Amino acid sequence: MQHCVPRHAAMLESQYRALEDFILSARKLLVLTGAGLSTESGIPDYRSEGVGLYDRTKHRPIQHMEFMTDSQARRRYWARNYVGFPIFVSKVPNTAHKVLAQMERSNQVEWLVTQNVDRLHQKAGSSKVTELHGTTNIVACQKCNYVTDRESFQSYMQQCNREFTADIINVTPDADAEIDVELIKKFNTPLCPDCGSDLLKPQVVFFGANVVQEKVQHCYDKLHECDRLLVAGSSLQVMSGYRFLLEANRTQRPIAILNIGGTRADHLANVRVSARCGEFFERFQTRNL
């Protein structure tokens, strides 16, 4: 866990009290979570100082158009994902995931919107969840109607690559893994069992793509049903999440942000706590659940 969590100071009692009061004052609380919530489960993020992908390596996540138009990019993506997926799927919910699920059951969380694709909220027991950026757990052909779960797809790729092995050089976000680039040439890109296309893609919103409007509207609707917004573990650098902070501010809904380091929306927050998510939620659980 520690290798994925950036350096941080201990939370002050005054910070805890302010955020606790914010949550307990909500009639209906919407929670928006990001990668900083899952770093404590050992899943690295992109932007954290010192430990995020952008600080540790020159590799950048695949872009949507690159994946859709370049067969070699798809080979590279699936080779790396094939090696990284077993580690990714082995991760388990941490304290923050578990407490948020408890808060849902006790009606302290009305709805949860996550920018993460790891399904750890559902593994922890949350059911009122919108996966803003999709999930790695489903793979769909972009040419036909073929859909499968990611674990079955892993077995299928193994059948196509019985002799393929690669050591992991670096574990990166979202089931990706850095491996020897020469080995990628030996990887057989999986083809759709129904139509034969190699345009098989996880149901994830890649960088450069847009969240479908129906999902965005659903999140706006949930925000409008709630009276407060809590952000946990997100720097809000991408517009897909930041837009909901703008809307909360426009409609005069109080905002609280819990995140290690600064965020794009600090100027909008009524309560701002720079601390580890697990530290806050563990204390909140002890005192309120």
Torsion angle, alpha carbons of 114, 119, 121, 124, to 10? 180
Contacts for 268 with CB less than 8 Å, ≥ 6 apart: 245, 246, 248, 249, 255
* Res. 121 pLDDT band, cuts 50 70 90: very high
pLDDT at residue number 46: 76
2 has pLDDT over 70 = no
Backbone angles phi, psi at 33, to 5 degrees: -115, 155
Whole-angstrom CA distances from 47 to 36, 149, 232, 236, 257 are 9, 29, 15, 11, 17
pLDDT at residue number 227: 98
Tens digit of each residue's pLDDT (9 = 90 or more) over 153-204:
999 999 999 999 999 998 888 889 999 999 999 999 999 999 999 999 999 9
* Res. 3 pLDDT band, cuts 50 70 90: confident
- Mean pLDDT score of the chain: 95
Catalytic residues: 133
Tens digit of each residue's pLDDT (9 = 90 or more) over 32-68:
999 999 999 998 887 677 766 666 677 778 999 999 9
Q: What angle do CA 86, 175, 72 make, to 5 degrees?
A: 110
